[in-house]
Structure 1
Amino acid sequence: MAKQMSIIPFTGKLGPLIGYKRNGNYFLRSMPESVQQTAATRRASRRFGIASRKGAFIRHAFYGHLDIHCDGAHINRLNRLLIAAGDHHEAITGFRFNQHTGVDRFFPVAPRLLSNGVLNIPAQTIDGYKGITALEVKVIATRIDFISHQVAGSETVTLMIAPDTTFQETNVSLEVPGEGSLVVVFQVRAMYKDGPSNSRQYMAADIIAVAAPRVPKYAHKRTYPKRTILLPGLTYPHKYTSVIQLE
């Protein structure tokens, strides 16, 4: 690969060259003359394409609600998770939009999503940090239909918590109607007197729960054959009937 030194770098195809960006720098590579794909490489390419589109869908479903800076590698990290997960979307639980800091730094006892759609934040001791006056907690719940690629709705709940204190157990009700999986992101920002910290060490946003769509339960009503009264002097078909003889 070659590093681009021009005043205006580019990404994408330009003749036989491909420009791309990595870690803030721009590079060039030449296009291969021909590509021989096997059945395995075609399957891998198809899985990568599906995961990439799904990853972009998930990211854009949350970008408008997030208040933190995502790290430069979060796109590829999420795609790798989705490739391995396939249709088991619960596997993205634990994904960090900022890989440098996780929610566990601020909340050592992890929040958990209950079956009734309530997020339980257990009681625990919150550490203090120099110059930090509060922790802003933002719960983002989004209903995502991975089949139709639709966002049914979102709800956000914000809490302000004092550091260096004992946090009392709190339940947050997440009412997001619609079809699809409920994906919950737990965001934490450290706050100074004059505003939020911009340090990547003091901001976190993790996917803490993915609840699969609820499968509707149907009551199966047992049916019985019709009962027929047999009258004297008449004949009746006996198929699928139970017969009562009149006395």
Structure 2
Amino acid sequence: MAILDSLIPFTGRLGNIIAYKRNGKHCLRTVPEKVRQTANTRRAAKRFGAASRKGALIRHAIKPHLDVHTDHALVNRLNSLILQAGRHNHAALVKFRFNGYTGINTHINAKPVFTNDGKLHIPAQQFKACAKAERMEIKVIATRIDFNTRTITGSDTALLNIPLKGRYQSFEGADMQVNVPGKGTLVVVVVQVQQFKDEDAIGNRRSYAADIIAVVEEEPKKVAVTIVNPLQEITHLPERRPVPAQSGLPLILRE
């Protein structure tokens, strides 16, 4: 790997050279002449591709509603989490940070609770102002994603402003409501927190956060089950009447 240090950096492929950006630096590498893949590497590449597509879908659903900056490692962190958690382990997304430097627990001491009816409850607590902030903004983002069709079927947001008077501010608690229309397999709920001074957002990367706090799976459809009464068991045979004999031999009647 070589680091590109020029006035006109670029990304992409140029001949047998690939330029890419990693951790804010422009790097170069050469294209291998031949790539040998085994069955294991093909399976690993398939899993990584599926995780990358899922991560991209989540980012595209959330990032348009975010008002804070994300870190440069967001793509790799999210893809790695999905890859390690497994294909259907959506609950592992909870607590994921879009700003890798800090989380909402830096600003919100009591954990918010999200219910399936679309309500986010923020408990009563005391907020701490950073850099003499005058206002704190809490935003809840909910989006519904259908991974089968790879579509974002609905999104909704709600906003709450809290004045900060002094270093510490008492808060009585509040409920925020979001309504996500459409059909989908997953509802991802993100809480974003940032502080303001003179109506400008404080630029310190530790003064804002955006975390996934809840993942709600679509409830499986209930299948109607028809109960069939079992046939009544015959406990005794019908009683046969005695038949008179003819010519000394018994007469057998056929039913």
- For structure 2, the 5+ residue unaligned runs are 231-255
Aligned twin of 2:235: none
Residues 137-162 of structure 1: CA distance to partner in whole angstroms, max 9, x if unpaired? 11001111111111111111000013
Q: 2:204 aligns with which of 187, 199, 202?
A: 199
Q: 1:169 aligns with which of 166, 169, 173?
A: 173
Aligned twin of 1:128: 129
Aligned twin of 1:22: 22
- Give RMSD over aligned pairs: 1.7
Distance across 1 between alignment mates of 2:226 and 2:119 = 32
Q: What is the 5 A alignment of 1:62-81? A: 62-81=62-81
Aligned twin of 1:87: 88
Aligned twin of 1:188: 193
Aligned twin of 1:220: 225
The amino acid across from 1:189 in the alignment is Q
* Structure-2-length-normalised TM-score: 0.82
The amino acid across from 2:54 in the alignment is K
Residues 165-209 of structure 1: CA distance to partner in whole angstroms, max 9, x if unpaired? 222232223221322211001000101123211221111111111
Aligned twin of 2:151: 150
Does the 8 Å contact 2:130/2:207 carry over to 1?
no
The amino acid across from 2:214 in the alignment is A
- Measure how far apart 1:211 and its partner are: 0.7
Distance across 2 between alignment mates of 1:111 and 1:25 = 37
- Measure how far apart 1:223 and its partner are: 5.6
The amino acid across from 1:207 in the alignment is I
- Measure how far apart 1:221 and its partner are: 4.9
Aligned twin of 2:54: 54
Larger-Rg structure: 2
- For structure 1, the 5+ residue unaligned runs are 226-247
- Measure how far apart 1:22 and its partner are: 1.5
When structure 1 is superposed on structure 2, of 203-212 and 26-35 the one drifting more is: 26-35
- Measure how far apart 1:212 and its partner are: 0.7
The sequence identity of aligned pairs, in percent, is 46
Number of matched pairs? 225
Residues 187-245 of structure 1: CA distance to partner in whole angstroms, max 9, x if unpaired? 001011232112211111111111111223345354669xxxxxxxxxxxxxxxxxxxx
